[in-house]
């Protein structure tokens, strides 16, 4: 299993002067995992050559799935997103 963490940056939403962090993970041959971070928004991209499973459904090769919690104060709880990137490459970008 290989993880390459991206740079975390602070974001200002411009409306409420709330600061958020953004980051990404590049997971190669990761197997079954659960993201243990509460997130405001998140995107999963299959950058590999085989399908990847997200929340029990497949993301096809080249596919992207995104979720938004619907507001600056809303978050998906840690542990909401489970995925299986066995034999694949999964890119995860998120704000929290």
Structural domain containing residue 6: 2-95
For 46-72, write each residue's pLDDT tens digit.
Answer: 999 999 999 999 999 999 999 999 877
Percent of the chain with pLDDT over 70: 80
The number of folded domains in the chain is: 1
The whole-angstrom separation of Cα 45 and Cα 29 is 14
pLDDT digit string, tens, across residues 3-50: 445 555 666 656 666 667 777 888 887 788 888 889 999 999 999 999
**How far apart (Å, rounded) are the C-alpha atoms in residues 42 and 45?**
10
CATH number (domain holding residue 27): 2.60.120
């Amino acid at each position: 299993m290989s993880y390459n963490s991206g740079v975390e940056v602070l974001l200002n939403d411009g409306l409420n002067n709330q600061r958020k962090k953004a980051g990404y993970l590049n997971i190669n041959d990761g197997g079954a995992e659960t993201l243990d971070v509460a997130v405001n928004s998140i995107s999963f991209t299959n950058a590999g050559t085989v399908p990847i499973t997200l929340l029990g459904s497949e993301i096809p090769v080249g596919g992207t799935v995104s979720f938004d919690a619907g507001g600056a104060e809303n978050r998906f709880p840690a542990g909401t997103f489970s995925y299986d990137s066995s034999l694949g490459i999964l890119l995860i970008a998120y704000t929290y």
